[in-house]
Amino acid sequence: MVDDQLDKRLKDLGKRVKSAQAKRAEQTGASGGGRGKPAEGMAVGVRITVEMIAGLAVGVCIGLYADKQLGTAPWLLILGFLLGAGASFANVLRTARELDARQARERQAAIDRASDE
């Protein structure tokens, strides 16, 4: 008797949770997804900026250090700068591709959730 009631209440709760989730997915899907969140946008910006600087910095540091050791200034610095710039571009492209993939995955997940109903 008590079990029956509990079962019914659980089912009812399940239904309510599902409908709320569907509504939520609809709303977030409609708002364009990913926009309007300043902290997240800033995080993406900082991430790409740092990615750009880090590659260049490592390249230049390796060049400078190798120059100092081998006494070939400034050639290895120039080489390191160029390769570092290349690495920066590679980093940025990789990051952008990964962010794109994540966004596509999130959008797909939202659509899946909405169509489950």
Partner 1 sequence: MAAAADGHGGGGGLDPLHQFEIYPILSINIGEYDVSFTNSSLWMVIAAVVSYLIISRGVGAGSLVPTRMQVVAETLYSTVANMVRDNVGDAGKKYFPFVFTLFMFVLFGNLLGMIPYSFTFTSHLAVTFAMAATIFVTITIIGIMRHGLHFFSLFFPAGAPLATAPILIPIEIISYLSRPVSLSVRLFANMMVGHTLLKVLGSFAVMMGAAGILPLGLLVGITALEFLVAALQAYVFTILTCIYLHDAIHLH
Query: Can you tell me the distance from the alpha carbon of 39 to that of 106, in angstroms, rounded to the nearest whole number?
Result: 18
- Chain residues 52-81 in contact with partner 1, contact rule CB under 8 A: 53-55, 57-59, 62
Nearest to 99, CA basis, from 13, 40, 20: 40
Which residues ranging from 27 to 56 are in contact with partner 1 (CB under 8 A)?
A: 38-40, 42-43, 46-47, 50-51, 53-55
Told to check if 104 binds partner 1 by CB under 8 A, we report no
With CA atoms as reference, report the closest residue to 17 among 29, 25, 28.
25
As given in the structure block, the two tokens for residue 114 are 């909405």
Kindly list the residues in this chain that would bind partner 1 in the complex (CB under 8 A): 38-40, 42-43, 46-47, 50-51, 53-55, 57-59, 62, 83-84, 86-88, 90-91, 94, 98, 105
